[in-house]
Amino acid sequence: MRKKIIIAVIAVAALLVSFKAGTVFGAGSGSPGSQGDPLVTLSYLNSRLEGLGDSGGSSSADAGFSRVSISKDQSLILTDGSELIVYSGNGTVLGTSGMLSITDAQMFPAGTSVVMYAHFLGIGGTSGVKASGNMTIYVKGGYRIE
């Protein structure tokens, strides 16, 4: 009987030590998406993009990101130096120079598929995206829809 009590006490002590070590080393701390918890979930992304505004036309470069919706076969053409993030839908890259992915420093030539949630930079004045279906895009800078 005494042996069972000692084992139980040791087990409880080990659990308490493990719990304390976890809290000391940061387990369970930090807010979602922060440096302490860098995992980005869809709900976190939605909360960060919520309230950025809707736009039906060209926006200025210093106004932040604007939410733009385009339909199948419509194209969104960026002015030189403008940025976009594909939030939903599918599309292909347009333009003679393509677009630069700021997210992973990769060139996306014309005709390649855009990657959702990647941050793109328009170069050459004809860069953009053509929708394969309905798309939601966040745009910073000037653009036009064709």
pLDDT for 1 = 82
Q: Report, as ranges of residue numbers, the positions in the chain whose pLDDT lies below 50.
A: 55-62
Which domains can be identified in the chain, with CATH numbers?
2-45 (no CATH), 53-145 (2.60.120.1030)
Q: What is the pLDDT of residues 81-120, one digit of tens each?
A: 899 999 999 999 998 888 998 888 889 999 999 989 999 9
pLDDT score, position 129? 96
3-state SS, one letter per residue, for the chain? CHHHHHHHHHHHHHHHHHHHHHHHCCCCCCCCCCCCCCCCCHHHHHHHHCCCCECCCCCCHHHCCEEEEECCCCEEEECCCCEEEEEECCEEEECCCCEEECCCCEEECCCCECCCCCEEEECCCCCEEEECCCEEEEEECCEEEC
